[in-house]
């Protein structure tokens, strides 16, 4: 990577640290501060800048020297974040690389593999792009504080099951045993157990919705707090952590694979 790109990545991670500290304050105040919203935007803006500059670095080294002067002047170079293949091709068409497109199949394949429509694990790119664009041209994306009561039951020696408002998750060795009338019901009030049912060997008291005290089995009830990003509904802290790591990965991979350092 070039020193300037490294510097911007480092700055994004410094802002992430500030954001995580600000969220600790938000947890205590039970509200999302304006500073937290601004820091979220700042992180995303820095990351979007890195992606665009890495794409431009490729274009300047490998494409610009091989295309006409008129195409160089008209080119718009951004890291493509598209909703489908047609949109991806449209984004890359703005690079004015039609005359040399066939010589850059490796780049196309790499960029295709990073797209949100290619894999759910790439969805962070679409959210980062939206937050950066709206914050620059429209307004900062609002956030909402939410709480979820989460219960985790763990068996000594291995096995765990946890549940919250609308999900039931099994850890390694986790199990639910159903007796007569045993059911798990998902509804507006959250997960509820009915009938004869046990979790990792501990019977559930269907009145309290907690386990009956059982040797070797423990229960923990926590309140999970999230700061959700507008219409995206993703946790801002998780997104920014994932996006910082993902952007650095892309910058390193493209620099190494395509000789951009």
| Integer Cα distance of 163 and 80 in angstroms | 38
pLDDT value at residue 141: 64
More confident residue, 187 or 156: 156
Q: pLDDT (tens digit, 9 = 90+) per residue, 48-73?
A: 999 999 999 999 999 999 999 999 99
pLDDT value at residue 126: 94
The two tokens of residue 97 are 């690389």
Least trusted range by pLDDT, from 2-6, 13-17, 72-76, 179-183: 179-183
| Integer Cα distance of 211 and 191 in angstroms | 14
The two tokens of residue 183 are 């059911």
Within the chain, residue ranges assigned H as helices are 3-29, 34-58, 69-74, 85-93, 105-114, 123-137, 236-258
The two tokens of residue 78 are 């951004």
pLDDT value at residue 122: 96
- The torsion region of residue 50 among left (phi > 0), alpha (psi -120 to 50) and beta comes to alpha
Least trusted range by pLDDT, from 96-105, 142-151, 162-171: 142-151
pLDDT value at residue 253: 97
DSSP state of 61: I
Least trusted range by pLDDT, from 45-49, 105-109, 116-120, 129-133: 129-133
pTM over 0.85: no
Least trusted range by pLDDT, from 80-94, 124-138, 168-182, 224-238: 224-238
More confident residue, 229 or 109: 109
CA triplet 60, 65, 67: central angle to 5 degrees? 105
With cut-offs at 50, 70 and 90, classify the pLDDT of residue 206: confident
pLDDT value at residue 99: 92
């Amino acid at each position: 990577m070039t020193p300037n790109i490294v510097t911007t990545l480092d700055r994004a991670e410094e802002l992430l640290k500030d954001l995580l500290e600000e969220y600790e304050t938000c947890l205590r105040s039970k509200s999302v501060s304006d500073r937290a919203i601004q820091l979220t935007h700042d992180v995303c803006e820095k990351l979007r800048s890195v992606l665009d500059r890495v794409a431009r670095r490729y274009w300047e080294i490998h494409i610009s020297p091989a295309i006409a002067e008129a195409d160089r002047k008209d080119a718009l170079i951004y890291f493509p974040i598209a909703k489908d293949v047609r949109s991806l091709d449209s984004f890359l068409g703005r690079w004015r690389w039609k005359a040399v497109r066939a010589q850059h199949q490796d780049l196309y394949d790499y960029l295709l593999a990073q797209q949100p429509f290619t894999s759910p694990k790439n969805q962070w790119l679409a959210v980062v792009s939206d937050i950066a664009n709206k914050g620059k041209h429209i307004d900062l994306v609002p956030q909402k504080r939410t709480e979820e009561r989460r219960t985790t039951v763990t068996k000594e020696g291995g096995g765990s099951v946890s549940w919250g408002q609308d999900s039931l998750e099994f850890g390694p060795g986790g199990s639910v045993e159903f007796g007569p009338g045993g059911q798990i019901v998902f509804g507006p009030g959250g997960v509820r157990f009915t009938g004869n049912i046990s979790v990792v060997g501990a019977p559930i008291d269907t009145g309290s919705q907690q386990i009956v005290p059982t040797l070797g089995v423990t229960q923990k009830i926590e309140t999970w707090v999230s700061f959700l990003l507008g219409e995206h509904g993703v946790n801002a802290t998780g997104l920014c952590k994932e996006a910082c790591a993902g952007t650095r990965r892309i910058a390193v991979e493209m620099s190494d694979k395509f000789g951009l350092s």
